[in-house]
Amino acid sequence: MNAHVVVGVIPGQPSAVVETAADFASRFGADLVCASVDIARYTVAQSLDGTIIASSIDPELMDEKAERFDPMLEQSIGRTLEGRGISWSVRALAGNPAVELSDLAEQLDAIMIVVGTREAGLRGSLREFLSGSVAAHLAHHQHRPVLVVPLDPQPHGTQMPWAGAD
């Protein structure tokens, strides 16, 4: 049985997240499983091969269908991983990203989960502060290590956007 590293991916995400996950997968001799979660849908059923049937959270769009991984995102991941010599695959999921990534990691008995931080700026920071980050939810609700790849680190002493001016 192969070891697995699960990485959460989203369109437009800097390649540093997948590159970092690939580095760890290589070090551990693990397969890399790149998972994208559609937050506008929820899982209705899952087949033995990992394919999920999902439905829209909008009650007017009762459209159960198999989730498909974004082909452009898959091509981007392929370019990032080209020549690295690791085995990788993609999974399309639906629902709450923290729950879905945790469930996938559990199914695969993954050795770790890798995620990136949100975009910088007031809107992204405020949304993360109010709703909680995927990384924080993962760290508090499952038992495997969570690696958070900083995408736009701020120097110490920088005031965070949600902190009020004194």
Residues 17-35: tens digit of each pLDDT:
999 999 999 999 999 999 9
Residue 41 has pLDDT above 80, yes or no: no
The domain locations on the chain are 4-149
Alpha helices in 50-156 (DSSP H): 71-81, 97-108, 122-131, 134-141
Helix (H) or strand (E) holding 146: strand 146-149
pLDDT, tens only, 3-20 = 999 999 999 889 999 999
Residue 130 has pLDDT above 50, yes or no: no
* CATH top-level class of 4-149: alpha beta
pLDDT, tens only, 137-156 = 787 788 899 999 987 766 77
pLDDT bucket at 79, cuts 50 / 70 / 90: very high
Q: What is the mean pLDDT of the chain?
A: 81
What pLDDT is attached to residue 147? 92
Percent helix, percent strand, percent coil in the chain, to nearest 5:
35, 25, 40
